[in-house]
A and B are shown apart, each in its own frame.
Chain A
Amino acid sequence: GDSVTQMEGPVTLSEEAFLTINCTYTATGYPSLFWYVQYPGEGLQLLLKATKADDKGSNKGFEATYRKETTSFHLEKGSVQVSDSAVYFCALSVRAAGNKLTFGGGTRVLVKP
Chain B
Amino acid sequence: GAGVSQTPSNKVTEKGKYVELRCDPISGHTALYWYRQSLGQGPEFLIYFQGTGAADDSGLPNDRFFAVRPEGSVSTLKIQRTERGDSAVYLCASSPTSGSQTAGANVLTFGAGSRLTVL
Q: Which residues of A contact B (CB under 8 A)?
A: 4, 32, 34, 36, 42-46, 49, 51, 89, 91, 93, 95, 97-106
Chain A facing B: main interface SS: strand
Contact in complex: B107, A46 (CB < 8 Å): yes
Residues of B bordering A, CB below 8 Å: 31, 33, 35, 40-45, 48, 50, 55-56, 91, 93, 95, 98-101, 103, 106-113
Taking a contact as CB atoms under 8 Å apart, the answer to whether A102 and B99 are in contact is: no
Q: Is the CB of B41 within 8 A of A97?
A: no
Q: For A91, give the chain B residue with the smallest CB separation.
A: B42
A102 to B58, CA, bound (A): 13
Residues of the A chain whose Cβ atoms lie less than 8 Å from the Cβ of B100:
95, 99
A45-B110, A46-B107, A101-B108 known, 7 other contacts, Cβ within 8 Å: A91-B42, A98-B50, A99-B95, A101-B45, A101-B93, A102-B45, A105-B41
Measured CA separation A16–B34 after assembly (Å): 37
